[in-house]
Amino acid sequence: MKHRLNWSAVLFLATFIFFLGISAGFATQITEHQAETEQGALPDTWTYDPVAGTLGHCNSPWVLRVVAEGTNLTVSGIASLPAEPAPLPLGDPVGGGFVIKEIGESAFAWEYKIAGDLVVPDSVTHIRDFAFCCSVEHEKSGTLTLGNNVIYIGKQSFDRNNFRGDLTIPNSVVTIDMYAFTSNFSRKKGNYGRFSLGSGLRSIGECAFSGCDGLVGNLILPEGVLSIGPLAFYGCFGLFSVTVPASVSAIGSGVFFEPVDLKHVIYEGRYPVSVGTGLYDYSHSVTSYVYAAHADSWQAHVESGSLVAGDAIWQGNPIRLCDALFNPLTVTLDARGGILDASRVHAVRTDLPYGFLPIPSREGFIFGGWWKEDEDTASPVVPPTMVMAQTNHTLAAHWYTPAAPGHWIYSPTSQTLCHSDITWVLQVATEDGIHLTIVSVVTEPPIPTLLPLSAPVAGGYVISSIADDAFYMCQKLSGLLIIPNTVTSIGAQAFSYSESLDGPLVVSGSVTNIGVWALQLGNVESMIFLGEFPPVCGSVFGWSATYYIPSVHAAGWNPHVANGPVEAGNATWLGRPIRLLEGSGLTTRHTSVPVPYAWLSGYAGLVTNGDFESAAWGDPDRDGMATWAEYVAGTDPTNDTSVFSVTIDAGRNVHWLPDLTPDCAYTIDGMADLRDSVWGPTNAASRFFRVRVERRQP
């Protein structure tokens, strides 16, 4: 017993010494690290070098040129650029009590080396002309956050940077100079952000927000704004309404030029001292509104009619009195078991659209939109839905239980279609209870995503038509779009200006009616029409597309094309090339090997519903090889006796059929024993062989 105790004591002592040694070493490491930190720069900070006149960052390749006035620094240029586009951490602090006070003229201009989100720190008061003009790598752009003390935003200061997300102008900003934000927040890049202007704003320069077509909703210009420059909101397609305060005394020409979604402009004061021409050029759907108290000042400028009589025309569009309209209300959002990160209370106005409301989440459910409280038979509230209530009210979340994977589920109560796997909820209508017409989008995914219209609808329902404007300007459509062979009609502007959609677009042969501008798409390069020429066909489609048709239908298309026939290879339709599908270079995108559409079309019945991707993944002859693999091997995907075969002759020569040399490359691997784990080059010991086939890409 005594011996065992002594042995235990020795073990304990050794263990204690071991851990003591570790503890001592750990303490030494901490002490050394602390000393190093105290002597050097803190993590994620800038360090000012007064001798070189530069700012260097401890964790970033950017080195900036600066000019100091006391502890205030003005960034004047770039001393050293990153080799590749990289985040610019302007929001990080500067050591030694220094602060970045201004971003100087052309400081980062024309370098295209900024990537990701850009944060302008609260210490900055002035962003000078061209400061960030053309400074962001477009394919790596992020959001823009402006500090809360910025006073001046210079001309072209953020021009052509393709920023994404929301744009919030802080209350501190007084002046936004000309072209300050031109060509940012683009719908073509999938942007769909909110737009708000701070209370301190006094001047908006010429073309300040031109081309920001991905900023959407109801825009309220703050009281105190004095002037709005020409074309300030040119091409801001997504604005539903604009409120112009009584403080505005000057409005430049074409200020709302080409306002695609704009329907209401409310002027809260008397007629401004100076108003340009063509405020609403290229739009005949805008109505201006003024208050009766100021009607006399406006009546003198109307082009025809009377404000009192309700038939006045101004700037080529109707102008009306609005005293009984646009009352401010609050709407409360009831998530009904969901989680809502944003505020539950939102300001709205009667007779204007609700605009974009936040989206809640709920585990195990799919959000089906906001609905009027306790009115399950009413239509859901979507961004363009007009506020008809005259009092404060509540909208309640509608939730769906997911359907079987890869299916749509139809709710007769709410008249919606909800997809099981992707956050698409569509408003639909039906006359016979079976055939569904897609009317509009209720809820869309947070990022551009596939719209699987060809997926089946659970319960035997059928998507039979797509209504006018159903997906108009929807920026969450991406990739391949198939109009399934259950659809007979595509309404006017059904998919127009959905600029995130890049195709291909496949229109099944069942479609007989295509409305005007139904497929006005700028980024879809390939449109495939699988049927005869539609009896009813609109006049405008994709302005960058090439059209493709199967040769079997060429005779029916030829009377409608120019420079025909299509078979000759020079034909155009609606000003764009039209070619035979069999001669196209179109291939599948999501298979292990790109499979030509023409090859798939060569087998009768292989492609159904216009879905080339699914056809390439299928195994119609049930021989265990997917169709894309049969393409590689050169076998017939519809014939189970057509297989890739390999033989070895008496001279140990390996043969295979079919042999598609030179279109395919063949590699023979060997193995001495099947229990080996690795195949390798053949040698004298090889007793087992395999042949690998690789399609050469044209």
Please compute the mean of the pLDDT values over residues 333-339 and round it to a whole number: 92
In angstroms, rounded to a whole number, what is the distance separating the alpha carbons of residues 338 and 367? 9
In angstroms, rounded to a whole number, what is the distance separating the alpha carbons of residues 396 and 411? 17
Largest Cα span, the chain: 116
- Which token pair is 50? 């007064």
Please compute the mean of the pLDDT values over residues 150-169 and round it to a whole number: 94
> Do the beta carbons of residue 81 and residue 70 sit within 8 Å?
no
CA-closest candidate to residue 156, choices 125, 133, 126, 184 = 133
CA-closest candidate to residue 319, choices 339, 297, 346, 290 = 290
Average pLDDT of the chain?
87
Contacts of residue 615, defined as CB under 8 A and 6 or more positions apart, other chains included, come to 600, 606, 607, 608, 627
- Residue 540 confidence (pLDDT): 67
Residue 361 half-sphere exposure toward CB, CA atoms < 13 A: 5
Contacts of residue 502, defined as CB under 8 A and 6 or more positions apart, other chains included, come to 478, 479, 523, 524, 525
In angstroms, rounded to a whole number, what is the distance separating the alpha carbons of residues 417 and 444? 12
The larger pLDDT score, comparing residue 423 to residue 270, is at 270
The predicted-structure confidence for 425-459, as pLDDT tens digits, reads as follows: 999 998 888 999 999 998 888 778 899 998 899 88
Contacts of residue 123, defined as CB under 8 A and 6 or more positions apart, other chains included, come to 99, 100, 101, 147, 149
Contacts of residue 48, defined as CB under 8 A and 6 or more positions apart, other chains included, come to 54, 55, 66, 68, 73, 94, 95, 96, 98
Please compute the mean of the pLDDT values over residues 399-421 and round it to a whole number: 81
Contacts of residue 641, defined as CB under 8 A and 6 or more positions apart, other chains included, come to none
pLDDT band at 502 (very low <50, low <70, confident <90, very high): confident
pLDDT band at 383 (very low <50, low <70, confident <90, very high): confident
Contacts of residue 328, defined as CB under 8 A and 6 or more positions apart, other chains included, come to 347, 348, 349
Provide the 10 A C-beta neighbour count for residue 507. Answer: 24
Distance between start and end Cα atoms, the chain: 85
In angstroms, rounded to a whole number, what is the distance separating the alpha carbons of residues 616 and 619? 8
Please compute the mean of the pLDDT values over residues 594-598 and round it to a whole number: 91
In angstroms, rounded to a whole number, what is the distance separating the alpha carbons of residues 590 and 601? 17
- Residue 312 confidence (pLDDT): 97
Please check the confidence at residue 17 and state whether its pLDDT lies above 70: no
CA-closest candidate to residue 189, choices 162, 215, 210 = 162
Contacts of residue 186, defined as CB under 8 A and 6 or more positions apart, other chains included, come to 162, 211, 212, 213, 214, 499
The distance of Cα 175 from the centroid of its chain, to the nearest Å, equals: 30
- Residue 188 confidence (pLDDT): 65
| Angle subtended at Cα 683 by Cα 681 and Cα 686, rounded to the nearest 5 degrees | 95
Please check the confidence at residue 8 and state whether its pLDDT lies above 50: no
The larger pLDDT score, comparing residue 150 to residue 591, is at 150
The predicted-structure confidence for 571-580, as pLDDT tens digits, reads as follows: 999 889 999 9
In angstroms, rounded to a whole number, what is the distance separating the alpha carbons of residues 231 and 180? 12
Please check the confidence at residue 342 and state whether its pLDDT lies above 70: yes
The larger pLDDT score, comparing residue 609 to residue 111, is at 111
The larger pLDDT score, comparing residue 328 to residue 205, is at 205
CA distances from 497 to 183, 214, 334, 471, 475 (A): 16, 11, 33, 9, 8
- Residue 9 confidence (pLDDT): 25
Please compute the mean of the pLDDT values over residues 106-123 and round it to a whole number: 96
Share of the chain above pLDDT 70, in %: 91
- Which token pair is 461? 């329902």
The whole model's pTM is what? Answer: 0.66
Share of the chain above pLDDT 90, in %: 57
pLDDT band at 216 (very low <50, low <70, confident <90, very high): confident
pLDDT band at 488 (very low <50, low <70, confident <90, very high): very high
Please compute the mean of the pLDDT values over residues 660-668 and round it to a whole number: 90
> Do the beta carbons of residue 242 and residue 265 sit within 8 Å?
yes
Please check the confidence at residue 400 and state whether its pLDDT lies above 80: no
The predicted-structure confidence for 547-559, as pLDDT tens digits, reads as follows: 999 999 999 999 9
In angstroms, rounded to a whole number, what is the distance separating the alpha carbons of residues 193 and 498? 15
Pick among 3.40.50.300, 3.40.50.720, 3.80.10.10, 3.20.20.140: CATH of 62-280: 3.80.10.10
CA distances from 234 to 240, 256, 258, 560 (A): 14, 5, 6, 37
In angstroms, rounded to a whole number, what is the distance separating the alpha carbons of residues 502 and 542? 11
- Residue 73 confidence (pLDDT): 98
Please compute the mean of the pLDDT values over residues 95-102 and round it to a whole number: 96
Provide the 10 A C-beta neighbour count for residue 185. Answer: 29
How many residues are listed for the chain in this entry? Answer: 698
- Residue 191 confidence (pLDDT): 65
From 69-78, 526-535, 538-547, 653-662, the region with the lowest mean pLDDT: 538-547
| Angle subtended at Cα 496 by Cα 492 and Cα 498, rounded to the nearest 5 degrees | 150
In angstroms, rounded to a whole number, what is the distance separating the alpha carbons of residues 375 and 381? 12
- Residue 170 confidence (pLDDT): 97
pLDDT band at 37 (very low <50, low <70, confident <90, very high): very low
- Residue 378 confidence (pLDDT): 60
The predicted-structure confidence for 67-97, as pLDDT tens digits, reads as follows: 999 999 999 999 999 999 999 999 999 999 9
- Residue 2 confidence (pLDDT): 28
> Do the beta carbons of residue 467 and residue 495 sit within 8 Å?
no
The predicted-structure confidence for 357-372, as pLDDT tens digits, reads as follows: 888 888 888 787 888 8
The predicted-structure confidence for 276-307, as pLDDT tens digits, reads as follows: 999 998 877 899 999 999 999 999 999 999 99
- Residue 189 confidence (pLDDT): 63
Q: Where are the domains of the chain?
A: 62-280, 615-695
**Which DSSP string do the residues of 111-172 spell out, in sequence order?**
---EEEEEE--TT--EE-TTTTTT-EEEEEEEEEE--TT--EE-TTTTTT---BS-EE--TT
- Which token pair is 125? 């008061």
- Residue 367 confidence (pLDDT): 81
Please check the confidence at residue 39 and state whether its pLDDT lies above 60: no
In angstroms, rounded to a whole number, what is the distance separating the alpha carbons of residues 587 and 530? 16
- Residue 179 confidence (pLDDT): 98
CA-closest candidate to residue 158, choices 170, 171, 148, 143 = 143
